[in-house]
Amino acid sequence: MSLEWFDRVSGELQDSLESICDKYDQNGGMSIERGAKHPRIEFYTEGEDIDREYFCTLFFDPHNEEFYMEAFEPDLGQISKVVLTDIEDIVDAVHERFHDYVNGDSVEEDLIDEEYVDEGLYMEEEELRDLDDRGEIQLLEEIDVDWETPEVTAFYQENDVEVTYQFGIVQETGDGVLKRVNRIWTDDDDMIRDETNFIFSKEEASTIIAMIASHMDSLTEMDYQGEV
């Protein structure tokens, strides 16, 4: 498995996007996560008056040495993998996602607005709110968050699962947000992405930290058997 193709594309992608799109050149950027099982490039917009917002994620499969994006298939109710064979296809795909985002028709937002449950089935937001009323699911409302850290890998099992965390601050309230992203790879090498968010106050944070610290010795390491 080689990351040579990933590194070459990463090095050329930013300049290529800036050269074909003035709007992206003004506010667009990208971050690279090379240490994940499937390295990824995440694209975002930000500026002096614009908070950072991610609109596209490009993944790299080092085993097959290919780039791909996720696409939601409404008829099938699942996420499919769209393989991009060369740098031109990648630039065109990111460019298209960028303008979808600018026009308010972002594929990334469509995937986030729905919660992935039960191995490929989706539930509508109203159904999720009903579950939330019973304390089963907590939804993150549309709020402005300043992400203070990048995604940090907390657990990784090759060819199976990756769990990452990211910490942010809610702009309006000053509360903390902990985002957990769980990526699971199926036997067909498709990826299932599940995201949960936990909001807490400064007073709660100190209590949570104290509770975890006092019970660390009681925890055991994760013995992953295909479920998280």
Supply the pLDDT for residue 49.
Answer: 72
Closest CA to 179 of 149, 156, 137, 135: 149
Average pLDDT over residues 62-81: 76
pLDDT digits (tens, 9 = 90+) for 102-150: 786 544 444 434 444 333 334 444 444 444 443 433 344 456 888 888 8
Q: Does the domain spanning 144-228 belong to CATH 3.10.450.700? A: yes
Give residue limits of the domains in the chain: 1-113, 144-228
Cβ-based neighbour number of residue 8 at 10 Å: 11
Supply the pLDDT for residue 176.
Answer: 92
Confidence of residue 98 (pLDDT cuts 50, 70, 90): confident
Does the pLDDT at position 71 exceed 60?
yes
Q: What is the pTM of this model?
A: 0.47
Question: 116 or 3, which is more confident?
Answer: 3
Average pLDDT over residues 19-23: 78
Closest CA to 60 of 88, 30, 90: 90
Supply the pLDDT for residue 76.
Answer: 59
Does the pLDDT at position 69 exceed 70?
yes
